[in-house]
A = this chain, B = another copy of it.
């Protein structure tokens, strides 16, 4: 059991380092879109929400699960859509070399 946990800890550690390395230098204009895009990714809780909602452990769980799915889904869909909208301003100029 503890070993499974430790396996997850290893993965968590690696992913944490990876997150640090991925973001190097971001122009200020991208701060909000990047934040928003990362926020959409954190909507991955949706996976957990689905399991809670679909577990069929009585109505309390189901209601909580339903709410969790709705919340997470707003986060996911809203997050991606809004990020995409913000990023429309980064279309390249034609004249650029």
Q: Which residues of B have CB within 8 Å of A5?
A: none
- For window 16-41 of A, CB contacts with B under 8 Å fall at 17-18, 21-22, 24
Number of residues in A with C-beta < 8 Å to the partner?
Answer: 10
Find A14's partner among B7, B15, B24 (CB 8 Å cutoff).
B15
CA distance in complex: A18, B18 (Å) = 5
A25 to chain B minimum Cβ distance, whole angstroms, is 10
CA distance in complex: A22, B22 (Å) = 9
Ranked 4 nearest A-B pairs via Cβ: A21-B21, A14-B14, A18-B18, A7-B7
Q: Which residues of B have CB within 8 Å of A14?
A: 11, 14-15, 18
